[in-house]
Structure 1
Amino acid sequence: MITVANAPVSYGVFDLARPELVPPPGGGELLDAVAAAGYDAVDLGPRGLFGTGRALADALAEHGLLLCGAWIDLPLTGGDAEFDAALARALPVLEDLALLASIQDGPPPRPTLADAGDESRRARPGGGPDLEADGRAWAALVEHVECVCALARGLGLEPTFHHHAATYVETPAEIDRLLRDTSVGLTLDSGHLLLAGGDPLEGFDRWRDRINHIHLKDVDASVLPRAGRGPDALRRLWEDRAFTALGDGDLDVAGLMDRIVAGGYDGYLVVEQDVVLLERGDAERAGADQVRNRETLRRWIP
């Protein structure tokens, strides 16, 4: 069964937000919008946005929403001390997920792991062979991924890994390397894969046995070369509206959805349309886009 979710990033709530320009919606407002748009679940977003512990569970139940997962990015190629400190900060998130997994009437949420990247990767979104982690850094990444997996599984959770722009798991080759060397499941993100030169339809077929979470994103790939290189490249990519409503970008939405449904995928399908709110009208447009995105998917998931 496919459960359709959305995420706070679709409404402008994430670490690239510009609250000095447009205040992002609060937790209650965001839950209202996600439920009213017809989604069955929501991603956690920043911890505390919807409350923590039992307060989080109550807020979700009040809106008739499941928790689909939580973003946990970590310095996976760094030293053990840096990684351990970041993992300690992430532990309360895992504990919230474990609580929801034990009480919600639906699929358990996925701890959605990702690499934090570094300045060299953030300066060149899209990746390339010359940017890949060397042997030492990759060995650290593998060790750290397995450490988080063991911790999550000890809490009764099954993790997933999100390949992401401007990190050390970005391109199809890096995804292959991750799946070869670790036991973690894969979040297929159609938008990030397109930006990294991949084909989401081919990727779904190629990694189907390891995909346990899906982020459905459409993307205007022409924004990537315009974003250029340098310390602000990643922000330019987002602020120039690389991510579009479903059907407005370069993703073959129908082709991918046909394969997902025919392939028997069972789990969360999270619609994400990352937006940075730069002017007042952006907030209204973000909400309208998420209603439209849900309606687009009713062809496959009523």
Structure 2
Amino acid sequence: MSTRVRKVANAPVSFGVFELSDAPPPLSADRMVGALSDAGYEGIDLGPVGYLGIGAGLAERLDGMLLAGGWADLRYNDAEAFREGLGALETALDVFAAAPPAPEHLAPRPTLGCSGSPERFARPGGSVPGLPSSEWPAYAARVQEAVGRCRERGFEPAFHPHLGTYVETPDDVERLLELTDVELCLDTGHLLLGGGDPVTKLREWAGRVGHVHIKDGDTKILAQALDDGVDLRELMGRGGFASLGEGELDLAGVIAALDEIDYEGWVIVEQDTLPGRRTVAQNIADQAANRERLRELGL
């Protein structure tokens, strides 16, 4: 058993909170934080900026929990859109800078995500081509620029391969690793549905894994979603990312691999869903059950 320090967090996406709008969120931030704390989580992802609060309000709301990280979405494939999105990255870094202090290995990690393209949705190795080879150098240079901005502010980011984007499949990830020095946020559910084996890739990419999202996945629901032509959000709403142990993820193998590679830092449980597809009580129960499954496996 590894002696490395790991802490388990959860995220607003597990409750269908992806963005702030005129409609109220499915549950209040206070209720979410309280439910996760009661279930034994020690940290939480930021979610949409402002949902958990900012500055002193964020620290007060977390009430002893730590901020594990947060999503920063940029269009690395489009130079103009990338420039326009850098302000949002800086805003997220401002929130991180005011978060409760944490040991270095538990400092919040900016999670760099690439805005998706509808035509790219979840077709690993399939009919939709990836980023043309000629565009990879510029794409990677923009990723590296975002990495540099994070480091200038004292944060080490991690890039999140994601269904429906230009870094979706294991081959896409290998290309990114070759052209940048960014660490990975290895999301087991997105990797599983993107055609990869999370256990194998944790071992192969051990030297570049800086953040881990544990998420289960169901390839049967994915296949039906593709047949129906629905988008990624609808896949989430249909339960494409299942409760831990109810999909196809080798959860025990993932935990064993984290031990083998001496991973240290945050393990963030996510079960992406849409608002209204399940009740708040069901979502709270799911996240308590997910935490218990990890405890049973020694995490």
- Fold conserved (TM > 0.5)? yes
Higher mean C-alpha displacement, 244-253 vs 254-263: 254-263
Residues 7 and 271 of structure 1 are in contact (CA less than 8 Å); yes or no, is this contact kept in structure 2?
A: yes
Kindly indicate whether residue 259 of structure 2 is the aligned counterpart of residue 261 of structure 1.
yes
Return the letter of the residue paired with 2:223: P
After superposition, what is the alpha-carbon deviation per residue over 1:151-197, rounded to whole angstroms, capped at 9, x for unaligned? 10001100101000000000000000011110100011110011111
Determine the structure 2 residue equivalent to 1:77: 77
Kindly indicate whether residue 138 of structure 2 is the aligned counterpart of residue 134 of structure 1.
no
Residues 18 and 278 of structure 1 are in contact (CA less than 8 Å); yes or no, is this contact kept in structure 2?
A: no
Q: For residues 277 and 114 of structure 1, do their structure 2 counterparts lie closer, same or farther at Cα, with a shift above 3 Å needed?
A: same
Per-residue deviation, 1:18: 10
Q: How many residues align?
A: 293
Residues 26 and 276 of structure 2 are in contact (CA less than 8 Å); yes or no, is this contact kept in structure 1?
A: no
Return the letter of the residue paired with 1:293: N
> Residues 25-174 of structure 1: matches in 2 within 5 Å?
25-60=27-62, 62=63, 64-79=64-79, 81-100=80-99, 103-104=101-102, 107-121=106-120, 124-128=121-125, 130-174=128-172
Helix, strand or coil at the partner of 1:201: helix
After superposition, what is the alpha-carbon deviation per residue over 1:31-62, rounded to whole angstroms, capped at 9, x for unaligned? 111111110000000000011122212222x2
Q: Distance in 1 between matches of 2:182 and 2:258?
A: 20
Kindly indicate whether residue 281 of structure 2 is the aligned counterpart of residue 284 of structure 1.
yes
Residues 53 and 99 of structure 1 are in contact (CA less than 8 Å); yes or no, is this contact kept in structure 2?
A: yes
Residues 252 and 297 of structure 2 are in contact (CA less than 8 Å); yes or no, is this contact kept in structure 1?
A: no
Q: For residues 292 and 230 of structure 1, do their structure 2 counterparts lie closer, same or farther at Cα, with a shift above 3 Å needed?
A: closer
Q: For residues 242 and 115 of structure 1, do their structure 2 counterparts lie closer, same or farther at Cα, with a shift above 3 Å needed?
A: same
Q: Distance in 1 between matches of 2:235 and 2:141?
A: 31
Q: For residues 186 and 105 of structure 1, do their structure 2 counterparts lie closer, same or farther at Cα, with a shift above 3 Å needed?
A: closer
After superposition, what is the alpha-carbon deviation per residue over 1:72-130, rounded to whole angstroms, capped at 9, x for unaligned? 11101002x221111112211012112327x2356100000011022321xx3133364
Query: 5+ unaligned residues in a row in structure 1: which ranges?
Result: none
TM-score by length of 2: 0.92
Q: Distance in 2 between matches of 1:254 and 1:196?
A: 20
Per-residue deviation, 1:230: 7.7
Q: Distance in 1 between matches of 2:275 and 2:61?
A: 25
Query: 5+ unaligned residues in a row in structure 2: which ranges?
Result: none
Helix, strand or coil at the partner of 1:113: strand
Residues 126 and 224 of structure 1 are in contact (CA less than 8 Å); yes or no, is this contact kept in structure 2?
A: no
Q: For residues 155 and 263 of structure 1, do their structure 2 counterparts lie closer, same or farther at Cα, with a shift above 3 Å needed?
A: same
> Residues 208-219 of structure 1: matches in 2 within 5 Å?
208-219=206-217
Residues 72 and 88 of structure 2 are in contact (CA less than 8 Å); yes or no, is this contact kept in structure 1?
A: no
Q: For residues 26 and 158 of structure 1, do their structure 2 counterparts lie closer, same or farther at Cα, with a shift above 3 Å needed?
A: same
Per-residue deviation, 1:136: 4.0
Residues 216 and 246 of structure 2 are in contact (CA less than 8 Å); yes or no, is this contact kept in structure 1?
A: yes
Higher mean C-alpha displacement, 222-231 vs 170-179: 222-231
Determine the structure 1 residue equivalent to 2:243: 245
Given candidates 3, 11, 15, the residue that maps to 2:15 is 11
> Residues 270-281 of structure 1: matches in 2 within 5 Å?
270-279=268-277, 281=278
Percentage of pairs with the same residue: 38
Return the letter of the residue paired with 1:68: A
Q: Distance in 1 between matches of 2:276 and 2:281?
A: 12
Pairwise CA RMSD:
2.1
